[in-house]
A and B are shown apart, each in its own frame.
Chain A
């Protein structure tokens, strides 16, 4: 495990300076994300950790281009990001894809599984491939996530379990092979042992395609296990960032210390007196 996680010094894949999001105005103004700077490198696994209300989901929506940026600039693959208009946005989404927390609401309920996967092939420019070739690609993608395409074909999303749906989401990513995968709490709705399966798959995906994976999570243990670098977010700001080891084993910011201290552990005493 440890030799895989040596620091990657690749070119910057996604970076931002002074990225800010303000909701509402005047008295009702809420600064959800407050002048954050970041640089995610190619092939790196990054975690953004924070409690609920810290602005991590708002940031992820901005990164995906689902909501506009109030202030600041986001650079994608070295160039300032331009996603004005639907066509440009669609082009951008070929480079960045997401897995969300709730697998049940991630799929169009009227689409069969085949359609979901065929759309991915189409997006990658494979619309004119012969059907046999497409089936082959879909079968391969399903095999990657330990699903059987023969069992899924002609089914609707609601016929699958939560874990299966989340894996199918990863199969989509496997077909699309985006430069960046943004995973917003991908394992918080599935239980501990399926979580290991999902994480293994994401690691495999990174190793095979050199994808940048951005984890948005509140689970420090998970962030520590999987990431190369960690950003800790509090009230819309990054209070600490660095390599996973540095941030978790040697935290500097008081907030990070509190967060780590509040997580139940198994080898160390859990200090209950601090709350």
Chain B
């Protein structure tokens, strides 16, 4: 068993709207990642995936606010830290974050090397330009990016190259956790594959110790991560290994999600695509009972009454459903 890199316990964060209402976009999320492991987060748009990514950094800015829970990075609790402290000590060298449109975030007037100088300079002001350049060159070489990229501006690079450059820059300090939020969804399949290969490389070499990968593309998640969490309305509804999740989902919502996978493989044309009717609940006042109940085909009246607690199977697999494992398997079998 590896060292625990990131441990999150009942994290709750909220958005405060203009009218002062609290919207809990991350509502009691617990997770744990060990060294060398990657965790995927799946779910439909608006379920809180990206908010969770932001919250995990411990760096909050309005309208996102911290409510309760702990985030421990390599054993150190970062939830009590001041924003300044987090910027200096945590972001970049402990946790790195690649947002959705990362490749468009590069300042067009700056050369790539100056971003790297900024990143390293913020954490180690004594580093000389020469040292930084050598480090960057070495890192780029290992990751298969040409050295010439360093002297270019962002606009001179293609989309895929830009995205890989952003990843190289944000992991230059060898962070313990990399949070990648849809790092490849705006790219063509071939560039996407290059990005994924690079992330794998980073993990294998040990430049990043662990990774959280967020996307709604399930085949991709299956190929990239060891474990998958499915998120629904701010809560984790199921947490299992990638294989279990894709081929043997337990929670009705996960089952619906997995039924929407489209791959160009033999037999894919004969499979029935499942659609989940309805829309997710409004988180301003979430349902009292199971949040998925009104869209669930297997819901019983009892599902609506009380909040559903997390249940754990013997092998550590977690799911959040009123029905027991045996009952769930039975109803799936009947179909």
Q: Taking beta carbons and an 8 Å cutoff, which residues of A are in contact with B?
A: 1-2, 5, 51-52, 146, 161-163, 190-197, 199-200, 218-225, 244-245, 248-249, 258-260, 262-268, 270, 272, 274-275
Contacts and interface: CB of A to CB of B under 8 A. Distances in A.
Nearest to A203: B273
Given A161-B279, A224-B269, A272 B196 contact: yes
Interface residues of B, number: 41
B262 A225 contact: yes
A263 B220 CA distance: 8
Contacts of A218: 188-189
Given A2-B270, A5-B269, A51-B190, A264 B220 contact: yes
A220 B217 contact: no
B106 to A, nearest CB: 19
User: 9 shortest A-B CB distances, which residue pairs?
Assistant: A221-B262, A196-B275, A262-B189, A197-B275, A264-B219, A51-B188, A192-B260, A191-B44, A196-B273
A168 to B, nearest CB: 14
B22 interface: no
- Kindly name the residue among B259, B264, B265, B271 whose own CB sees the greatest number of chain A CB atoms within 10 A: B264
A220 B219 CA distance: 13
B274 A196 contact: yes
B197 A190 contact: no
Contact of A248 (B196, B264, B276): B264
B268 A224 contact: yes
Contacts of A199: 273
Contact of B261 (A220, A223, A266, A272): A266
Interface string B162-200: 000000000000000000000000001110111011001
16 contacts: A2-B269, A51-B189, A146-B277, A162-B45, A192-B218, A194-B44, A196-B275, A199-B273, A200-B275, A225-B268, A249-B266, A265-B263, A266-B246, A266-B261, A272-B196, A275-B193
Contacts of A272: 193, 196-197, 200
A1 B269 contact: yes
A244 B268 CA distance: 11
A239 B219 CA distance: 26
A191 B269 contact: no
A194 B265 CA distance: 21
A223 B196 CA distance: 23
A1 B272 contact: yes
Given A192-B217, A196-B274, A264-B223, A52 B188 contact: yes
Contacts of A192: 44, 216-218, 257, 260-261
Interface in B287-311: none
Given A264-B217, A265-B263, 8 more contacts: A2-B269, A199-B273, A221-B219, A223-B264, A225-B262, A245-B269, A263-B219, A274-B193
B262 A219 contact: yes
Interface string B239-273: 00000001100000000110111111110111111
Nearest to B224: A264
Contact of A193 (B193, B260, B270): B260
A270 B223 contact: yes
A220 B189 CA distance: 10
Most buried by A among B256, B259, B263, B276: B263
A248 B262 CA distance: 13
Residue with the greatest number of chain A CB neighbours at <10 A, chosen from B222, B247, B269: B269
B23 to A, nearest CB: 16
